[in-house]
Structure 1
Amino acid sequence: MIDSKTGWLHERLGTLVLWALLIGFESAGQIASKVGGDQLGQMDFTLHWLLAVADNPGVWVAIACYIGAFFVWMLILRRSSLSLAFPLSSLVFVGVLLGSWLGLGEQISVLHWVGVAVIMGGVALLAEGEQT
C-alpha cells in the first residue's frame, strides 16, 4: 500500500506529472479561449454576446481547463516555494506557443523560437539553483 506521505505524488515523478498537468491545462485553456473567441467573432458587449459566450463550447473547455489548472497549482504550491514555482510556470508560454503552432497552424517566427529557448534555459537554471 502506498503511504500518502511517501506515495508517487510526493516524489519526483509526482512533481513532473503535476507540472505537465499544469502546463497542459493552462496551455489548453489559452488555446480554447482563442478558439472560442474566434467562433464568437466581432460582437458588441451586450446580453446577446453574453448568451453566445455561455453557449460556446470553446469557452466551456477553457473554463474547465482553468479549474483543473487551479487545483493542480494548489498541489504544486503545497510542495514548492512560490519563488521557484511562479517562474517555472512560465513554461506555459512554451506550451501555448507550441499549441498555437501545432493546433492552430499559426506561423511562429525565429525570434519566438529563440524566446522559447531562453525561457527553457532560464527554467533549467532555476531548477539547478534549487538543487544546490
Structure 2
Amino acid sequence: MTTQTVDTGWLHGRLGTLMLWALLIATESAGQLFTKVAGNQLGQMDFTWQWLADVARNPGILAAIASYLGAFFVWMLILRRSSLSLAFPLSSLVFVAVLLGSWLGLGEHISLLHWVGVVVIVAGIVLLAEGEES
C-alpha cells in the first residue's frame, strides 16, 4: 500500500509538514497540561451532579477539549501525507513535550531516569526516520 500525498495548499511541502508536526505536538501537549491543572483544581472525583457541573464549567477542561479537538484535525492532515508506520512513532514526541511542560510550567521534578527515557525516545525516532529514508 502506498501513501498518497495530498495537496492542501500552503501546508503542502516539507515546511508545511514541519508546521503541522509542531502544531500537533503543541496542541496534544497543551491538552495534557490543561487536564492536569484542571484535575488539581477540581479535587476529588466523586461524580456527583455538582462535580460534573464544575467539570463542564472548568476553563482548564474546556481548553483541554479544544486542544484535543484541534490535535485531532491536525493529526488527520498529517496522516493524509505520511505513512502511519512513521507518523505514529513520531507522535511520541508528545511525551517529551509533556515532560518538558510539566517540568518548566508546573514545577514537577523530573528524575534522571525520565531524562534517559527522553533520550531513548528521541533516538528511536531518529532511527525510524533514517529507516524511512532508506
Matched residues in 2 for 1:93 and 1:43: separation?
25
Aligned to 1:124: 126
Aligned to 1:46: 48
1:124–1:46 CA distance, 2 compared to 1 (3 A): same
Shifted more, 85-94 versus 6-15: the winner is 6-15
Q: Which runs of 5+ in 1 are unaligned?
A: none
TM-score normalised by length of structure 1: 0.93
Matched residues in 2 for 1:74 and 1:107: separation?
34
Measured after TM superposition, the shift of residue 9 of structure 1 is 1.4
Q: Which runs of 5+ in 2 are unaligned?
A: 1-5
Q: CA RMSD in A?
A: 1.4
Aligned to 2:62: 60
TM-score normalised by length of structure 2: 0.92
Matched residues in 2 for 1:6 and 1:125: separation?
28
**Runs of 4 or more consecutive aligned structure 1 residues displaced over 6 Å after TM superposition:** none
Matched residues in 1 for 2:128 and 2:74: separation?
20
Q: Look up the SS of the partner of 2:105 in the other structure.
A: helix
Matched residues in 2 for 1:114 and 1:5: separation?
39
Measured after TM superposition, the shift of residue 131 of structure 1 is 1.0
Aligned to 1:37: 39
Q: Which amino acid in the other structure matches residue 98 of structure 1? A: L
Q: Which amino acid in the other structure matches residue 64 of structure 1? A: A
Q: Percent of counterpart pairs with the same letter?
A: 76
Match of 2:79 among 77, 80, 83: 77
Count of residue correspondences: 129
Q: Which has the higher contact order (CA 8 A, sep 6+)?
A: 2
Measured after TM superposition, the shift of residue 5 of structure 1 is 3.2
Matched residues in 1 for 2:46 and 2:8: separation?
53
